[in-house]
Structure 1
Amino acid sequence: MSYCYGGNTGLTNLWFKDACPVNCVPKLLVQCSRTIRLEGFLALQGEVKDNICNLKNLILEHCASLLEALLALLGQAKALQELEDKMNRALDLEEPVTPGSLGGPGDTILAKLQDTSGKLNRFWAGSILYLLGALQELIEEQQQLLAMSVEKKILSQQLKLMETILDQNFLRAEAGPLSLHSELLQNLQGEELTVTKALIGLCGLDLQEDGHLFGWQPDALPPLCALYAALSVFQILSIVMENLSERQVVSPGTHGEGKGSNPAPSSSGSLVTNSGKLCWGHGGHADTKGYVCPLCPVGVLHGL
């Protein structure tokens, strides 16, 4: 894992803010942060995948509760900071979390991240801390727009747009025009496009008159990285919740029949729904439980 515990000492903060003293984090984390700067967007993609992939192991009840509670906290800077502090302290001291200490959505999140001993599950908690670090880089309005994006189910389109922008400009040090393929924005219409343009614009990139040209600003890179990480976390939570809720039994040789229980793994290890389609799409992998992580490269397992 590429996060560490303790106040604002994770790799997220090293990359997003560069505000953490080098001597307060393990040497490996500093090296990883420098690697991202040198290798570009692919290194950031790898970091994000490593930090959030364990969320695929959440059960439906926990995933739905986490997603709802996290959305309820967006735009509430004080509550988000209190949650982050509470999680860091519990992980540092390796002690059980006391119920009711935060109240509201914060307590719900803590409860869903606990193991049978009452302590926070380090894998799940690490992924949520990664998200909280990213959210610190986004202003209140962006967080509210992020919640709207989840509600409108446009995260996948936004991630494709973000990936194109970051891949083309991650190592670019000069300001200048940034041209985008028209289909990237054509997939978003009306309010969906307005929300997306505002999210990116608040990072420091303004859409030009022709509608497909942004003005690139190097200072926009840290908030863009934070936005990409936050979108990725909410996307995997949404995918896990959606697909676990739709899992159905498929009898051998009769795709599309049977309801009410777990689906059968396909020959590739993916799960098949009653429509005969793979639950997770292409490019994912399956762990020993049959779950497929859409964000991880084939053959890389991130089980508990």
Structure 2
Amino acid sequence: MFRKVTQSIANQMDDDDLVPVRSLLDHEHFQALCLVRRKRKAIFHPSPCYRQTWYKLDDVLLPGEDNKSTESLCPTGDGEESKQFAINKSVSDRVDGSLNLCIEPTSVELDGAVAFYKGLSIKMEKKHIPLKKIEALTRERKMNVNHSFIQQIQKTDQNLYVVHETLEASEKTSYEESTKAAGSFMTKLYAKFFAKGTREKKQSVTIPKGCTLAFKAIELAIKDGSWSLNHLPEDILVFACDDSSGGKLGALEVEVEENCQILSKLSSDLVIIFLKAIKAVMRDRNLFEELTEKMEAVLDETGSCELKTESPDLKDLLSSLQSSPGHLLPQLAGAITYTLDALDELTEDQLLLLLESLEDKIVSQQLKLVKTILEYDIEYSKRPFRVDAGLLSFSQEKEQKVTIAMVEMSGVKLQKDGFAVRVTEAFSAVAALYVSLYVLNLLSNSD
């Protein structure tokens, strides 16, 4: 839910460079002057996406003549470098009767009554460090090239960024969503749930004062002991939309093949181990973060790190990776990281529906359906289109509802007859769903 809040706030601020913090557990690592690394680019997240490093700028600089900390650059909250904002938003509804009620990204079919509430009231403070102050610091203090982290960054040829602007909660606040239904109803949020009676579902998240909600970062250019700010924007992913390669879908297929080809070469025993671990992290966010961290460590250390865990769900996978040939380990870690990045773009409910689809053995058909959707210009056009209705035909009605719900959560509304329309910005979300289905289909169908 925290990610939903920060994404909504970033969208309302109408600032393309503002990056929402994805996890409440990580917010302290995206404060002003924190060092961050950008995740590897992928078609399903062309916008900047960063991960923490556990370091601040002051940690990797040599002391200056006055021994003054870089913390003195941070805004105090009472000057021009700090601005106050507030967002107040609430939605409530109650409906009686027999109807289909759509409350994106979920929909509820009921005969009875349903009450829905969503509320957020938050005061925020936008703080920024003028880039000219950081540029002045580049002339006053040298980079510590003997620092192990800086050596690692240069060895692996990674880009390093420093946070120079943040949007923080200026007071403790809570966000709550609740749905209460009475009568006979079924919600697409939980595909297996159908009941008569009363059901109430509440979700809430408490955001502490000072919590970083979103941020901006700028790249550091490091050479020997000197460092500077790189004001030029990074190259963005560019795709030809009407060429013989198949446009963005063709580019996505090439990217998936390049990143996941090694998974098709796994032995049947390893396939079982890999699929078990992927399913486990889809259920458990803590396992997801643990596996992500370990795979990033493999890539950062070029295969020299030790892979150990206390989790029985990950033990077999990490043990297998640890015993893999040195030249294959980075490729395997890269494939897993690419898969985790795609899964991370999906909602928790989509992950649950994917797991159910695996059990019902309908992932292959869902993959064909999503590929068909990507053949249309859903990135720029909101015109209705049609997909093959046969791809929405399943042996059980429940499987059809699971599939339609999962696709709708990525921003494309489907009807049983194949009629489809994009209801939100959808290409990146549908592309992430395609990658997730591709990998799950590959692993679940391998001999």
TM-score range relative to shorter protein: 0.5 to 0.7
Q: What is the aligned-residue identity percentage?
A: 30
Unpaired stretches in structure 1, ≥5 consecutive residues = 1-5, 244-304
1:138 aligns with 2:168: no
Report which of the two has the higher share of helix. Answer: 1
Q: Aligned equivalents of 2:324 and 2:254: distance in 1?
A: 31
Q: Aligned equivalents of 2:426 and 2:339: distance in 1?
A: 19
- Determine if contact 1:200/1:224 at 8 Å carries over to the other structure: yes
Unpaired stretches in structure 2, ≥5 consecutive residues = 1-35, 51-157, 161-218, 220-233
Q: Aligned equivalents of 2:441 and 2:324: distance in 1?
A: 27
User: What secondary structure does 1:214 align onto?
Assistant: strand
**2:47 alignment partner in structure 1:** 18
1:192 is displaced (CA, Å) by: 1.4
User: What secondary structure does 1:219 align onto?
Assistant: coil
Q: Residue 232 of structure 1 aligns to which amino acid in structure 2?
A: Y
1:238 aligns with 2:268: no
Q: Aligned equivalents of 2:318 and 2:431: distance in 1?
A: 26
Q: Aligned equivalents of 2:444 and 2:317: distance in 1?
A: 16
Normalized against structure 2, the TM-score is what? 0.46
Alignment of 1:257-272 (within 5 A): none
Q: Aligned equivalents of 1:205 and 1:35: distance in 2?
A: 22
Q: Aligned equivalents of 2:327 and 2:306: distance in 1?
A: 6
Alignment of 1:218-233 (within 5 A): 219-233=425-439
1:78 is displaced (CA, Å) by: 3.0
Q: Aligned equivalents of 2:426 and 2:340: distance in 1?
A: 19
Q: Aligned equivalents of 1:234 and 1:32: distance in 2?
A: 28
User: What secondary structure does 2:420 align onto?
Assistant: strand
**1:206 alignment partner in structure 2:** 413
User: What secondary structure does 1:129 align onto?
Assistant: helix
Question: What is the number of equivalent residue pairs in this alignment?
Answer: 228
Structure 2 vs 1, CA of residues 189 and 32 (structure 1 numbering), >3 Å: closer, same or farther?
farther
**2:261 alignment partner in structure 1:** 53
Moved over 6 A (4+): 117-120
**1:68 alignment partner in structure 2:** 276
**2:131 alignment partner in structure 1:** none
Structure 1 residues 158-193: Cα deviation after superposition (integer angstroms, max 9, x where no partner): 1111111001225x4132312222212124632211
RMSD: 2.9
Structure 1 residues 239-281: Cα deviation after superposition (integer angstroms, max 9, x where no partner): 22xx2xxxxxxxxxxxxxxxxxxxxxxxxxxxxxxxxxxxxxx
1:118 is displaced (CA, Å) by: 8.2
Q: Which has the larger radius of gyration?
A: 2
Report which of the two has the higher share of strand. Answer: 2
Q: Aligned equivalents of 2:37 and 2:306: distance in 1?
A: 17
**1:216 alignment partner in structure 2:** 422
Alignment of 1:1-304 (within 5 A): 9-12=39-42, 15-16=44-45, 18-20=47-49, 33-35=237-239, 39-94=247-302, 95-100=304-309, 102-116=310-324, 121-170=329-378, 172-187=379-394, 189-208=396-415, 211-217=417-423, 219-240=425-446, 243=447
Q: Aligned equivalents of 2:375 and 2:296: distance in 1?
A: 32
1:204 is displaced (CA, Å) by: 1.5
Q: Aligned equivalents of 2:332 and 2:291: distance in 1?
A: 14
User: What secondary structure does 1:16 align onto?
Assistant: coil
